[in-house]
Amino acid sequence: MRKIKSQLFISLDGVVEAPDQWHFPYFNDEMGAAVDATLGRADTLLLGRRTYDSFAGAWPGREAAGGEDAPFAKVLGDARKIVVSRSRPAFTWRNSEQPDGDLTETVNALKNEQGSPVWISGSVSVVRQLLSAGLLDELNLLVHPIAVRKGMRLFEPDTAPIPLELLSSDTFETGVLNLSYAPAAAPGQGTYEDARTHLPQREG
């Protein structure tokens, strides 16, 4: 059974929009290794339309140019790319396809396959839907030490809470936090009276 995993660049105040405008000053060898361990080893990618169009407009040219990032570009090109879109994309990047069913049907079918994890890069609307449906197995957040203060955030207001369990954490030299989460059971009820028992007790 395959797992569905997502990796996102995110600011300290939760912004995930346009990371190209604030993310690159924090990209070092540690982050490069983190990206290579996910997207760089994926044989299947699940992408929203906007992310796909962005990738398809950049990575084939980088592969053809033969520069330092050409090997990574080839990995992305060779991967199976499943694109979720309400309209029919004009595919120009090899190994790209659009599923016949909706997102839930597509993900359940992928989960029933044998193989390595399916990775989602960007594609915030896809990540939101899978989190709400309980279909995302792992959420990898690369939290940047910057408050962007504008732009779309990962978690929308006025929606149901999504409990998560921390699987792993790492701190890069740049201050970026590499955090991985999995869905968790609801934490239950709690009050200040419950919490106060865990405060240090002092006389006086």
Residue ranges per structural domain of the chain: 4-187
Whole-number Å distance between alpha carbons of 29 and 161: 34
Whole-number Å distance between alpha carbons of 182 and 156: 19
Place 157 in a pLDDT band, splitting at 50, 70 and 90: confident
> Which tops the pLDDT comparison, 198 or 136?
136
Domain 4-187 has CATH 3.40.430.10: yes
The first and second tokens of residue 114, run together, are: 């044998």
Query: Is 142 in contact with 177 (CB distance < 8 Å)?
Result: yes
- pTM here is 0.92
Sign (positive or negative) of CA dihedral 70, 10, 94, 60 = negative
Residue 68: per-residue pLDDT: 93
Percent of the chain whose predicted confidence (pLDDT) is above 90: 81
pLDDT tens readout for residues 162-174? 999 999 999 999 9
Residue 197: per-residue pLDDT: 86
Whole-number Å distance between alpha carbons of 162 and 181: 11
**Averaged confidence pLDDT in the chain:** 93
Give residues with Cβ within 8 angstroms of 183, minimum separation 6: 131, 134, 136, 137, 162, 163, 164, 165
